[in-house]
Amino acid sequence: MIYQSTYQAAKIVAPKLEAIFAQHLREAQKSGEEDLAPLPLAHLVEHILDATFWASLRREEGHTTKISLAFVSPEQAGNPLMLKYKLPLNPTTLTKLAPGVERAGIHIGIWHDGDELYVWGTTIIIPNYCFVLDVSEPGLLVIKHRRIYGFGKYTNVAVLKGEQIKIVDTTSPRSHDWPTMLLTLLDLMAPSYWNDSVNVLIQIAVSMRAHQRGGILLVVPSANNNWLQSIVKPILYGVQPSFVGLSKLLIQDRKEASQIFWQTALKREVDHLAGLTAVDGATVVNDKYELLAFGVKIGRAKGKDVLEDISFSEPIVDGGAVVMAAAKIGGTRHLSAAQFINDQKDAIALVASQDGHFTIFSWSEKNNCLQGHRIDTLLL
């Protein structure tokens, strides 16, 4: 008997997800890629989404369910932890297993016997374009896949929150002047290695969002100090000399970057820098990731115009750019960061809100305007 779901969003989105993964796999096969994951068929996806959604609303010994599921056979999962008995995929099974697998990087392995899905064990290794479903809070499901390059943050495909469905749009950015960081998050541009500067910026953004206090990170050119024109003096938390903990790691030999100890050190430095963004004010680094200051107050530079309009978009289906008054983009944190980029057009600003929203501000030379991109859907 085919599984009958009761979560309506699962019914709606499942065929769309099958089509998206089918397209990824076709393109990968044409490119000669190997170790590709199986295609998640719509009726199986619907079952996975339904069981996981209802599990996410349950608690085990007072704790919410936080899990990651991977649709993969044991044969394609490197060194899997195998259960002696297959467990049926249902909310009860997932809720009971959740406490043991909630750490990052551990996936519950899901496979099928015909139309019947079951849990076979756990794995930390999955194939390229593997269907992954993450739950980090009740009612919030994030569908993603492992990057074909095998490192960095997984690529998000869709986000479901209750009945709200957001499908990531990977088509429109190709024709727009969008930041490299955003193109990388959309898997339209490959980071060259773990210590690729754009990949590191993504890790900083994820860490900023994780501390849930809100914050601003300003990335300014190392070639000049023009950014000081847009900062209120004196700077209480200036760093002299600049702190180069993260910068030193990024210039190490790339062979070392594949080693576990290097990646651990990178995460420590990323979290250190991102943690400073929780201090009231903005944190400033240059394009070499040298820390220059934190807790700084942003002010409009002398002779610069007051920001009036901004092109704002979210990289999801039907989330195209709209021009709006700057005052409508958010609170003081967003407005001050946007004004900074309006003054310092060669910089970028990352803004995290306490409610989880995350925005990139940059200047578009092509369109001669300030652009804001809400990217929290890509960072979950």
Share above pLDDT 90 across residues of the chain, in percent, rounded to a whole number = 55
Q: How confident is the model at residue 322 (pLDDT cuts 50, 70, 90)?
A: confident
State the average pLDDT over residues 144-157.
73
**pLDDT per residue as tens digits for the range 202-212:** 889 999 998 98
Check the CA dihedral 252-344-191-206 and report its sign: positive
State the average pLDDT over residues 345-362.
91
**Mean per-residue pLDDT of the chain:** 87
Contacts of 299 (CB under 8 A, 6+ apart): 230, 231, 232
Q: Please state, in angstroms and rounded to a whole number, the distance separating the CA atoms of residues 209 and 157.
A: 19
**Which is more confidently placed, 249 or 153?**
249
Q: What are the sequence ranges of the domains in the chain? A: 8-167, 197-379
Q: State residue 263 phi and psi, 5-degree precision.
A: -65, -35
Query: What CATH number belongs to 197-379?
Result: 3.40.1700.10
Q: How confident is the model at residue 151 (pLDDT cuts 50, 70, 90)?
A: low
